[in-house]
Amino acid sequence: MANSKYEYVKSFEVNDEVMSPNLIVVRINGCDFRRFSEVHEFERPNDETALNLMNACAISVLEEYPDIVFSYGFSDEYSFVFKKTTKFYQRRASKILSLIVSFFSSIYPTKWKEFFPQKEMRYPPTFHGRVICCATIEVLQEYLSWRQNECHTNNQYNTCLWKLVESGKTEKEAQEILKGTQKQEKNELLFQQFGVNYKKLPEMFRQGSCVFMKQEEDIAKYSENGTPVKRLRRKARIVHSENVAGRSFWNVHQNLLKDIGGFAEDNGKINPDYIRSFLFENKLMPSTWIVIRIDGCHFHRFCDVHAFEKPNDLQALNLMNSCAMAVLKEFQDVMFSYGVSDEYSFVLKKDSEFFQRRASGIVSAIVSFFSSMYVMNWKSFFPEKELKYAPSFDGRAICYPSSEILRDYLSWRQVD
């Protein structure tokens, strides 16, 4: 097809490549997961089953994307570390971020019944994310130390808080009691008042979880005489370690040394502000129309596997439309959307301050919600079809300075 007169709008799309040799980390966090936990009656301060579900989703991410070689998570967050030589989607930050968030968000409701067979998921979870560019291996080491320190600090505080609430205090009273207390004071409070030795709580609660792939021998098939034929396969491992950024943990795993690098010495004092300076953040221009365009990833294969009618499957299109309607209900700043096939464009109001106009937050939240909603709505549109694997979508944010150019963008998409 000849180029339309509206093609010029593509020039407003920016290239957000993470330049080598920066190491790429994608961190995702649950959006308003406190409410999600309360609605679904998760145990407090930790629900082991919910944490195992998060770990299972992380394993699926590593199995789906071989360029991710290590991940660390706790509570409702997970960080994914790419190998240093990755060329995944030309190292484009928005593409990488949106795909990881989307796939994780699709897997979560897909696996829900496996972990909560007696509980119905009341509404889809949403995750937002960001890309961290680690200029050196030392920055990555400090980043991992920071996240594990957050895991310990948050878990110790929450353990104290909910023990006090269980004893009859209001949440506000418990917060006042804990205000200004140090680590040792919290440990003493737990032991003296509740007989809890903090160091004997489950490792997963105190230390978080590491997931990484390891080459292991596995039986691939059996020969004619019944002899097993073994081959090396990538298998995910979940490990709990007191210091995920320590040489004693990191340097014994040859695949991590090969794909990412080794730590020369153990970390000293953690400086979170220093780590935050490596956030790959794109704040969108004020007083411009923000468009978030999402596209199905490898949807030709997805359509074939699920036997969609060609050239158009009405039910599949209605499913996409239902997800778009849900996005407009969930995010008040989204005022209009237009979609075709496996693509949807969402227009935010011009004065929107959603996520302080941070591209990573806006893109990841919308892509995440759309993806989890797609999985949750599947049975409503395909009651006789099983969802054979989780779909994923990539997304990008584009700013258009005038209503005329926004109109031309929408015309371009419709001409397409």
Q: What is the mean pLDDT of the chain?
A: 92
Find tokens 């992380």 and name the residue: 58
Q: What is the DSSP string of 93-115?
A: HHHHHHHHHHHHHHHHHHHHHHH
Find tokens 């395909």 and name the residue: 382
In the prediction, which pLDDT does 1 show? 44
Looking at per-residue pLDDT, the higher value among 271 and 144 belongs to 144
Q: Evaluate the omega torsion of the peptide bond into residue 21 and state whether it is cis, within 30 degrees of 0.
A: yes
Find the mean pLDDT for residues 167-176.
Answer: 94
Find tokens 């330049």 and name the residue: 19
| CA of residue 383 relative to chain centroid, distance | 28
Reported in sequence order, the residue ranges of 31-112 that DSSP labels E, i.e. its strands, are 68-74, 77-82
Share of the chain above pLDDT 70, in %: 97
Q: Which of 12-21, 120-129, 195-204, 340-349 shows the lowest mean pLDDT across its residues?
A: 12-21
CA–CA–CA angle 162, 167, 169 (5° rounding):
75
In the prediction, which pLDDT does 208 show? 97
Contacts (Cβ under 8 Å, ≥6 apart) of 173: 164
Q: Evaluate the omega torsion of the peptide bond into residue 311 and state whether it is cis, within 30 degrees of 0.
A: yes
Q: Give dist(CA 221, CA 216) in Å, integer.
A: 15
Helix axes 93-115, 48-64, angle to 10 degrees: 130
What kind and span of H or E run contains 399? strand 393-400
Q: What is the DSSP string of 346-376?
A: EEEPTT--GGGGBHHHHHHHHHHHHHHHHHH
Mind listing the domains of the chain with CATH numbers? 7-13+283-415 (3.30.70.3000)
CB atoms within 10 A of CB 140: 27
In the prediction, which pLDDT does 233 show? 74
Structure tokens at 368: 């995440």
Find tokens 């360029």 and name the residue: 67
Q: Give dist(CA 82, CA 188) in Å, integer.
A: 40
Residue 354 Cα distances to 197, 283, 326, angstroms: 43, 11, 17
| Burial (CB count <10 Å: 0-12, 13-18, 19+), residue 241 | middle
pLDDT tens, position by position, 96-106: 999 999 999 99
The residues with which 283 forms a beta bridge, in sequence order, are 358
pLDDT tens, position by position, 26-75: 999 999 999 999 999 999 999 999 999 999 999 999 999 999 999 999 99
Given a cut of 70, whether residue 269 has pLDDT beyond it is yes
In the prediction, which pLDDT does 282 show? 80
pLDDT tens, position by position, 208-250: 999 998 876 666 667 777 777 667 677 888 999 999 999 989 8
In the prediction, which pLDDT does 235 show? 83
Find tokens 């990833």 and name the residue: 297
Per-residue DSSP letter, 44: S
Q: Which of 58-67, 251-260, 345-354 shows the lowest mean pLDDT across its residues?
A: 251-260
| CA of residue 196 relative to chain centroid, distance | 33
Structure tokens at 211: 């997931």
pLDDT tens, position by position, 281-300: 788 999 999 999 999 999 99
What kind and span of H or E run contains 266? none
In the prediction, which pLDDT does 255 show? 86
In the prediction, which pLDDT does 230 show? 66
Given a cut of 90, whether residue 319 has pLDDT beyond it is yes
Nearest residue to 106 (alpha-carbon basis) of 396, 394, 395, 391:
391
Given a cut of 90, whether residue 80 has pLDDT beyond it is yes
How sure is the predictor about 3, in pLDDT bands with cuts at 50, 70 and 90?
low
The residues with which 290 forms a beta bridge, in sequence order, are 348, 399
The residues with which 397 forms a beta bridge, in sequence order, are 292
Q: Which amino acid is at 412?
A: W
Contacts (Cβ under 8 Å, ≥6 apart) of 213: 62, 63, 66, 69, 234, 235, 236, 237, 255
Structure tokens at 36: 């999600």
